[in-house]
Chains A and B, each alone.
Chain A
Amino acid sequence: MTSLLNRKKQRVDELAESAGTSLAADALRRMSRSPVAIIGAVIVVAFVLLAILAPFLAPEDPYVRYPELLDQLRPDSIPGPQPGFLLGSDELGRDFFSRLLVGSQQSLIVGVGATLFGLVVGMAIGGLAGALGGWVDSALMRFTDILLSVPGLLLAISIAALAKKGSQTTVIIAVAVVSVPIFARLLRGAMLAQRHSDHVLAATSLGVKRKTIVFRHMLPNSLGPVIVQATLTLATSIIDAAALSFLGLGDPDPSRAEWGLMLGNSQRYFDVKPELAFYPAVAIIIVALGFTLLGESLREALDPKNRR
């Protein structure tokens, strides 16, 4: 289903490019004029670039405990900024700045992975329900209702806790499951609205096959809110993943540089070096803010009411 979706989407995109004034192009044009969208996009692009280039940008090895830092490490004092170590040491004598930089990788991988996972499964469920209707719809929607009835983070914690050993994959799955019902409902709702739309009726009156109606007429017109939700889900996924690591349900490897884990470990040293908590927290907030701003302005740009 996904490959078909992608192909369809690609075709739609190609067609959009050829004429240059499709809905997507229109939305892009409108976004380029919105300051909020630009701020969001700048944050997101910077974050993605940082994450990809982190291994090259990091001045020191984030996993090595440096003797010069270890020497200064006392129970009541963690070394601060000094030449060679921009933000000083963490609680184990590693370079705090490099760990912060490399930590962005984990957030990106988990955020994108969980969102994609949730998107694919959610769209499959929602698409089936919306396209077929009837008892399939009822059954699938009852299932998503059950998922939705449990608060998101609680659900993620339960799923992460179910796994014997925490790992990046379990975090991704746990966070993704939370977004599955949201995507499913959103797509199903949009597809149902499309089903009763005039242009679908018109296509039906031409004897167009059901498959074509679903993939060419209903689905592309239902994707707008899903794309917006995906952008917003990136933000919540990053926060949820950090929360799981913070609670110790993430990757058990303590040497791993991960913002949530760093935040969790900093608790014990809060009175000694509050920056250990401050910087990862600020990083998470800024990244989440970036995706949220981008998502919100995307929502505005895709709103057909705003079309000229």
Chain B
Amino acid sequence: MALLEVRDLRVVFQRKGSAPFTAVDGVSFDVDPGQTIGVVGESGCGKSVTSLAIMGLLPTRGNKVTGTVNFEGTDLLRLSKRQMRDRRGRDLGMVFQDPLSSLNPVIPIGLQVTEVLERHRDMSRRKAMIEAAELLDKVGIPDPKRRLDEYPHQLSGGMRQRALIAIALACQPRLLIADEPTTALDVTIQAQILSLLKELVQDTGTALIMITHDLGVVAGLCDEVNVLYGGRVVEKAQRHELFAQPRHPYTHGLLASIPRLDAPRGEKLVPIKGSVADNIPWDDGCAFAPRCPNALDVCREVTPPQEDQGGGRLLRCHNPVLPGTPAAQEVSA
């Protein structure tokens, strides 16, 4: 049994006076202990909402979450608020996008690390402080004892994200969700943070869900990738297969739109036309059809079902990209 089994997760936001908005539309995936899976997609595809739903951090009002999130056999969605609070930080950790705003600016780093330890491991402040220094040391913060007394604004961006990771991992959760953990950092720091995450996951056997829009992050870290579009998984594959042979036109487009070192000089990047519509309808046809270079008539009429391609590969497309299609061809289509 997988550590985390997300089945048919659906999040509907109900706003007064307007039609309900489905942000996550039947997402399913498994995470095994020690495994890293990626959830990829552009802004508004539902990736952050998915992670918040798993953590039970969505606002209590104005939305409806259905489906199941089985964590070691317990459906997290059925737990009471109190039970969920006990689990968060202890069994499930989360790292957020902006390391500065995710730290409390008026209290020192040390207190923010010990807070979790005191909460979940019943440590005394003194013991927790010692543990906190070790944690900061483990995530590669130099001179951790001094850092404990410092305030978030005194740390560099990379250091702050390291501190946040230390806090999230303080109680050795079995699942860590990282929601765009490197987006606010520059490239060299990104690489450091990613290798730190990789190392920690390998050392502790923590399962990691990596929420990102950056395929580069996925390429370096994830075992399995879920590509989200309009709240649904449009393609799921092992990392190598996905990069070697993207089948869904959306995945294909994403890969074509990032520069590659091995591409000939002067080659143009191919953007995906248009942008995500506000409310993406999956009811009649494929949500990606209006932007899809491969779209057929059937795509606009029949919702594509999720098909098992074998080898753990799932695809939701009527007219997938043929193996070996270069990116450039799509411009003419």
B85 interfacial by beta-carbon distance below 8 Å: yes
B-chain residues with CB within 8 Å of residue A203 when the two chains form the complex: 104, 115
Are A209 and B119 in contact, with the CB atoms below 8 A? yes
Chain A residue at minimal CB-CB distance from B90 = A207
A204 touches B102 (CB 8 A): no
> Does any Cβ of A come within 8 Å of B23's Cβ?
no
The smallest beta-carbon distance between A7 and chain B, in angstroms, is 14
In the complex, whether B67 has a CB less than 8 A from a CB of chain A is: no
Question: Of the 9-residue stretches A93-101, A121-129, A140-148, A194-202, which lies at the interface with chain B?
Answer: A194-202
Contact indicator B85/A209 (Cβ below 8 Å): yes
Interface size range on A against B: 20 to 34
Q: CB distance A198 to B98 under 8 Å? A: yes
Closest to B103 in A: A199
- Expressed in whole angstroms, the Cα–Cα distance for A197 and B107 within the complex equals 15
Chain B residues whose C-beta falls within 8 Å of the C-beta of A209 in the assembled complex: 85, 119
Please state if B104 and A19 are interface contacts (CB–CB under 8 Å). no
Among B55, B88, B104, B168, point to the contact of A217 (Cβ < 8 A): B104
Contact with A along B107-138 (1 / 0, CB 8 A): 11001000110011000000000000000000
A contact residues around B87 at 8 Å (CB): 207
Give Cα A168 to B161, complex, Å.
55
Contact of B108 (CB < 8 Å), options: A19, A199, A207, A221: A19
- A141, B41: Cα distance in complex, Å: 41
Determine, out of B149-157, B201-209, B210-218, B231-239, the stretch whose residues face the partner at the interface.
B149-157
- A307 cross-chain contacts in B, Cβ below 8 A: 153
- With contacts A207-B120, A208-B115 known, is A202 near B90, CB below 8 A? no
* Complex CA distance for A64 and B104, rounded to whole angstroms: 58
Asked if B258 is at the interface of the complex by the 8 Å CB criterion, the answer is: no
A221 nearest CB neighbor, chain B only: B106
Would you call A220 an interface residue if the criterion is a C-beta within 8 Å of the partner chain's C-beta atoms?
A: yes
B150 contacts A205, C-beta separation under 8 Å: no
Asked if B105 and A204 sit within 8 Å, CB to CB, the answer is no
**Least Cβ–Cβ distance between A103 and chain B, in angstroms:** 39
B197 within 8 A of A: no
Binary flags per residue of A175-186, CB closer than 8 Å to B gives 1, else 0:
000000000000
Known: A15-B108, A212-B115, A221-B104. A205 touches B149 (CB 8 A): no
The closest CB in chain B to the CB of A22 belongs to: B151
Are A22 and B96 in touch, CB under 8 angstroms? no
Is B115's CB under 8 angstroms from A202's CB?
no
Q: A19-B150, A206-B116 are in contact. Are A199 and B105 (CB under 8 A)?
A: yes
Q: Tell me the complex Cα distance, A18–B97, Å.
A: 30
Given A12-B107, A15-B111, A22-B106, also A207-B101 (CB < 8 A): no
Residues of A within 8 A of B108 (CB): 15, 19
A21 CB-CB contact with B under 8 Å: yes
The answer to whether B149 and A208 have CB atoms under 8 Å apart is: no
The verdict on B46 contacting chain A, using a C-beta distance below 8 Å, is no
Instruction: Tell yes or no: B57 within 8 A of A by CB.
Output: yes
CB distance from B328 to the nearest CB of A (A): 41
- B-side contacts of A197, CB under 8 Å: 101
With a cutoff of 8 Å between Cβ atoms, the chain B residues found around residue A199 in the complex are 101-105
Q: Are A205 and B88 in contact (CB under 8 A)?
A: yes
Cα distance A206–B103 when bound, in Å? 12
Mark A209-225 against chain B: 1 for CB-CB distance below 8 A, else 0. 10010001100110000
In the bound complex, residues from chain A placing their C-beta under 8 Å from that of B111 are 15, 216
**Is the CB–CB distance between B102 and A207 below 8 Å?**
no
- Minimum C-beta distance from A10 to chain B (A): 13
- Asked if B93 is an interface residue, CB under 8 A from chain A, the answer is yes
Task: Report if B249 contacts A (CB, 8 A).
Answer: no
Closest to A23 in B: B106
Interface string of B76-94 (1 = CB under 8 A from A): 0000000001111110011
Least CB separation from A204: chain B residue: B57
- Most B CB contacts (10 A, CB to CB) among A22, A201, A207 go to A207
Which of chain A's residues 1-48 have a Cβ closer than 8 Å to chain B? 12, 15, 18-19, 21-23
Closest beta carbon of chain A to B72's beta carbon, Å: 16
Is the pair B85, A207 in contact by a Cβ cutoff of 8 Å? yes
Residue among A21, A201, A220 making CB contact with B154, cutoff 8 Å:
A21
A304 to B153, CA, bound (A): 11
Task: Flag whether B287 is at the interface (Cβ < 8 A).
Answer: no
Q: Which residues on the A side are within 8 Å of B93 (C-beta)?
A: 205-206
The residues of A that contact B104 with a CB separation of less than 8 Å are: 199, 203, 216-217, 220-221
Contacts of B85 in A (CB 8 A): 207, 209
Nearest-CB residue, chain B, relative to A19: B149
* Residues on B with beta carbons closer than 8 Å to the beta carbon of A22: 106, 151
> A206 touching B167 by the CB < 8 A rule?
yes
Q: Which residues of B contact A21 (CB under 8 A)?
A: 150-151, 154
Q: 20 A–B contact pairs at CB < 8 A? A: A15-B108, A18-B149, A23-B106, A199-B105, A202-B94, A202-B96, A202-B167, A204-B57, A205-B57, A205-B88, A206-B119, A206-B168, A207-B86, A207-B88, A207-B119, A209-B119, A216-B115, A220-B106, A221-B104, A304-B105
Extra 13 A-B pairs, beta carbons < 8 Å, given A198-B96, A304-B105: A19-B149, A198-B98, A199-B102, A201-B102, A202-B167, A205-B55, A205-B57, A206-B88, A207-B89, A207-B119, A207-B120, A209-B119, A212-B115
In the complex, the 8 A-B pairs of residues with the closest C-beta atoms, listed nearest first: A206-B89, A207-B89, A207-B88, A198-B101, A205-B94, A202-B102, A220-B106, A19-B149
A residues engaging B (CB < 8 A)?
Answer: 12, 15, 18-19, 21-23, 197-199, 201-209, 212, 216-217, 220-221, 304, 307
